[in-house]
Amino acid sequence: MPQSPFPDVTHRLVPSPAGRIHLVEQGTGPLVLLVHGFPESWYSWRHQLPALAAAGYRAVAVDVRGYGRSAKPAEVSAYRLLDLVDDNVAVVEALGERSAVIVGHDWGATIAATSALVRPDVFRAVGLLSVPYTPPGGPKPSEVFARMGGEEEFYVSYFQEPGRAEAEFEPDVRGWLAGFYAALSADTMPAPGAPDPHFVRPGGALRDRFPTGSLPSWLAESELDLYAEEFERTGLTGALNRYRNMDRDWADLADFAGAPVTQPSLFAGGGLDASTTWLADAIEAYPTTLPGLTASHILEGCGHWIQQERPEEINLLLADWLSAVAPR
């Protein structure tokens, strides 16, 4: 397990429907649950834990099931969104709390939004980083992704085939992670007009379009080592199983098709992040889909790993928002 650089954090294993969830906690006050994305861990919140604790909050970053020291069920179907919502509820209860503010990045944003949508009794406010909220419903996800890219294959479809991305990843975990992080970071992503790293050419691999050379400025060699050590131990299958349940999620959440998230909410995205640009229509729809939105920010010149690329800005945005939605 990565050793925390912060002396005041507490590592815990708490029971959940997955079996156990590993979390890292710092501070006292209203509970703020931090949910990471792919392919990361609780460590992606290393800059937010001390900042939120200093602002008067009980900041708790989890390893999502399938990651880190959290349980890794063998069944692919055990990674549905509703299962992850249940894990989040279990964490809140295990910490002796009745409610929490939930903040997520990347897949964690979708997990956070779904948690708020399905369990508004537990999650009283929601912060979304990098990936905008889109209500459940619409066309079946696998059919949408299959139509993207023309002759090339969209990365989500690539990830959905069991074993395929694992075979690319496992021979060089550290190098693959370095390339993936660099491909979506503002200072190392491919130049405009270069082949898009979100797509795979016929017969190729996703990493064929990863940048090589320098790490992103936000990622030190020692920090990459910590991420790599985790995934060398756990493998990537648990993390990839999130992608392999998108059609199941579509069916599971059919009763919530088109439903807004009404709690107080925050959105922040990177101006250079494909998640922000591809889903611009979702951001424009926020008056309908996030009627409780209190703040929305696009950080110009920022890539996908927003809370690590711009930690000071995100810490200030979160602290200011939390002071309004979860006063100490």
Of 73, 68, 62, 60, give the one whose Cα is nearest residue 19: 73
What are the two backbone dihedrals, phi and then psi, of residue 118, each rounded to the nearest 5 degrees?
A: -85, -30
Catalytic annotation present for 8? no
Pairing of strands 58-62, 31-35: parallel
Of 92, 40, 100, give the one whose Cα is nearest residue 66: 40
- What distance in Å separates the CA atoms of residue 82 and residue 11, rounded to the nearest whole number? 25
How many CB atoms lie under 10 A from the CB of residue 262? 13
For residue 60, what are the β-bridge partners?
A: 25, 33
- What distance in Å separates the CA atoms of residue 230 and residue 2, rounded to the nearest whole number? 7
Among 83, 87, 106, 273, the one annotated catalytic: 106
- What distance in Å separates the CA atoms of residue 54 and residue 6, rounded to the nearest whole number? 13
- What distance in Å separates the CA atoms of residue 38 and residue 61, rounded to the nearest whole number? 14
- What distance in Å separates the CA atoms of residue 69 and residue 321, rounded to the nearest whole number? 30
Among 22, 36, 297, 304, the one annotated catalytic: 304
- What distance in Å separates the CA atoms of residue 23 and residue 197, rounded to the nearest whole number? 32
Helix (H, G, I), strand (E, B) or coil at 188: coil
Catalytic annotation present for 297? no
Contact 72, 78 (CB under 8 A): no
Residue by residue, DSSP assigns 265-292 as EEEEEETT-HHHHHTHHHHHTHHHH-TT
Provide the residue type at 178 as one letter: A
Q: Which residues are catalytic?
A: 106, 304
